[in-house]
Amino acid sequence: MSFSVNKLAPELVAPAEPTESGRLPLSFMDRVVVARMFIDLILVFEQGVQPAKTIRAALSRALVPYYPVAGRIVEPIPGEPEVDCTGDGVWFVEASVDCRLEDVNNLERPLLLPRKDLIPYAPPDVIEGDDTFMLQVTEFRCGGFAVGIGFNHAVFDGIGAAQFLKAVAEIARGHARPVVNPVWCREAIPSPPKLSQRHAPSPAAFHFQNSVFDISSDRINAVKNHFLRETGQKCSTFDVVTAMLWQSRSRAISLDPHADLDLGFATNTRQLLRGLLPDEGFYGNCVYPMGIKANAGTIAASSSVELILLIRDAKDRLSSKFSECMLGDSAENPYTIPPGYGTLVVSDWSRVGFSEVNYGWGEPIHVVPLIDDNNFVASCIYLSPPKPKQGVRLMTRCVEMEHLPSFSEELMNFASELT
């Protein structure tokens, strides 16, 4: 059964009051982290009262303290983009659909409505990469609604985008201004000597399949307890899930045992920049990638304890690796992702803050990252599962169809194999 989405033309929502003008620098992290790339996601809410009207008004008021978001990215010097605080505003789209959320499975995967109907787009004559943020509210017949978001990674990291969304939501709930005062402060992050820009061959494209897996807290805790008994140390949910995912995928894709496998994960460096950045309010990029390299045979044969120790060791090296990068002592550009089917990149969104956005009618029942256009790097995003489930939801796009059955089987069996 198909449903009809009535999507109005995008309109600019400008700051509710006059704001500062001028140009603001982006930090080296803003410039290097997949610059100008839009990250799309959907937040799904069970109920609301005139949500589009409420969110639009709150967005306009939030853009006063967040005035750079109402500007445009410019690049007067090649390779050195900055934000021109024009006050133009952000693109906002209002939409409605002739069905209930339950008719489309609450927008669980696979989406029963087209992505293009749920995500905002700028008008065709606009260069989208110059914008910083876009938002669409789609109202359903049942009173529920979905908020489709696109944010420019050159201006926000995930924590920063969630901070802005929560600020809009706080104003929608009646706050006069955001609870956390936003700060730009990009100039406080030192720029390291120019990172290596060695020419890399064009990556091969793969036919990755979308899959969703819910891993229960009981299964995760069983592995945590086993690790504690074996080592006398505690480990995190991220450690357990990443070990589980990496080995399951490694076994499923069955590369040569001597082939190199690369695991990459994004880390938050805010704690390493204390003294340079304020304790709260910074919404720019603080993402630094960490990686692990091992051969396929080792990963496939390792115990859960051995894999978790590998991941913990990489996390422990963050401070020294980040310092090396900032001082220019690193021979390689850490933001370069090794190409090939043996590379897996994971990102933990479960504590970023998207699931805490509350416009006045409750938090989202779930968060839907849209990564369907990624065909070059195997990836997985960690999310909180829909309530009342407890644990971690894995949104994967990391194996081709021929490997999907064995990957699914390996992943669901891993947590009970405590050897």
Taking only the tens place, the pLDDT of each residue in 241-280 is 999 999 999 999 999 999 999 999 989 999 999 889 999 9
Do 283 and 408 lie in one domain? The reply is yes
Q: What pLDDT score does 79 carry?
A: 81
pLDDT tens column, 129-166: 899 999 999 999 999 999 999 999 999 999 999 999 99
Statement: residue 368 has pLDDT above 80: yes
Please state, in angstroms and as integers, the Cα–Cα distance from residue 135 to each residue in 13, 89, 101, following that order: 10, 11, 19
Statement: residue 393 has pLDDT above 50: yes
Q: Measured between alpha carbons, how far is 210 from 108 in angstroms, rounded to an integer?
A: 12
Q: What pLDDT score does 134 carry?
A: 97
Q: Measured between alpha carbons, how far is 15 from 220 in angstroms, rounded to an integer?
A: 45
Apex 197 CA angle, 191 and 200, nearest 5: 150
Do 168 and 308 lie in one domain? The reply is no
**Mean pLDDT, to the nearest integer, of 68-81?**
92
Q: Which helix (H) or strand (E) holds 322?
A: helix 318-327
Among 157, 188, 219, which residue terminates a domain?
188
Confirm whether 319 is domain-assigned.
yes
Q: What pLDDT score does 418 carry?
A: 45
Q: In this structure, are residues 397 and 371 in contact, taking their beta carbons and an 8 Å threshold? A: yes
**Mean pLDDT, to the nearest integer, of 50-61?**
98
Collapsing DSSP states into helix, strand and coil, what is residue 265?
A: strand
Tokens of 187: 């100039």
Nearest-CA neighbor of 28 among 196, 151, 187, 264?
A: 187
Nearest-CA neighbor of 42 among 144, 148, 138, 153?
A: 148
Do 126 and 238 lie in one domain? The reply is no
Do 178 and 217 lie in one domain? The reply is no
Q: Which residue has the tokens 């609450």?
A: 106
Among 155, 188, 221, which residue terminates a domain?
188
Burial class (CB in 10 A: 0-12, 13-18, 19+), 316: exposed
Do 162 and 218 lie in one domain? The reply is no
Phi, psi of 151 (to 5 degrees): -125, 145
Among 188, 221, 239, which residue terminates a domain?
188
Q: Measured between alpha carbons, how far is 10 from 313 in angstroms, rounded to an integer?
A: 47
**Mean pLDDT, to the nearest integer, of 325-350?**
84
Confirm whether 101 is domain-assigned.
yes
* DSSP E strand boundaries for 106-252: 133-139, 145-152, 208-216
One-character DSSP codes across 176-189: SS-SSPPB--GGGS
Do 213 and 85 lie in one domain? The reply is no
Which 8-state DSSP code applies to residue 167?
H
Burial class (CB in 10 A: 0-12, 13-18, 19+), 37: exposed
Do 55 and 180 lie in one domain? The reply is yes
Confirm whether 197 is domain-assigned.
no
**Comparing 100-104, 120-124, 373-377, 414-418, which segment has the lowest mean pLDDT?**
414-418
Do 13 and 107 lie in one domain? The reply is yes
Confirm whether 332 is domain-assigned.
yes
Collapsing DSSP states into helix, strand and coil, what is residue 64?
A: coil
CATH number, domain containing residue 233 = 3.30.559.10
**Within 13 A of 14's CA, how many CA atoms are on the CB side?**
8
Do 140 and 278 lie in one domain? The reply is no
> The domain containing residue 396 runs over which residues?
208-414
Statement: residue 34 has pLDDT above 70: no
Confirm whether 200 is domain-assigned.
no
Confirm whether 201 is domain-assigned.
no
Nearest-CA neighbor of 68 among 183, 171, 179?
A: 183
Q: How many residues does the chain have?
A: 419
Number of domains in the chain: 2
Q: Measured between alpha carbons, how far is 248 from 252 in angstroms, rounded to an integer?
A: 6
Do 123 and 20 lie in one domain? The reply is yes
Using the Cα atoms of residue 246, residue 251, residue 254 and residue 259 in order, give the sign of their dihedral: positive
Do 150 and 223 lie in one domain? The reply is no
Confirm whether 120 is domain-assigned.
yes
**Within 13 A of 164's CA, how many CA atoms are on the CB side?**
30
Q: Measured between alpha carbons, how far is 137 from 217 in angstroms, rounded to an integer?
A: 32
Q: Measured between alpha carbons, how far is 381 from 215 in angstroms, rounded to an integer?
A: 13
R_g (Cα) of the chain, nearest Å: 22
Do 173 and 317 lie in one domain? The reply is no
Q: Measured between alpha carbons, how far is 271 from 14 in angstroms, rounded to an integer?
A: 33
Confirm whether 419 is domain-assigned.
no
Q: Measured between alpha carbons, how far is 87 from 283 in angstroms, rounded to an integer?
A: 18
pLDDT tens column, 184-222: 999 999 888 776 555 555 678 899 999 999 999 999 999
Q: Measured between alpha carbons, how far is 119 from 419 in angstroms, rounded to an integer?
A: 44
Burial class (CB in 10 A: 0-12, 13-18, 19+), 250: buried
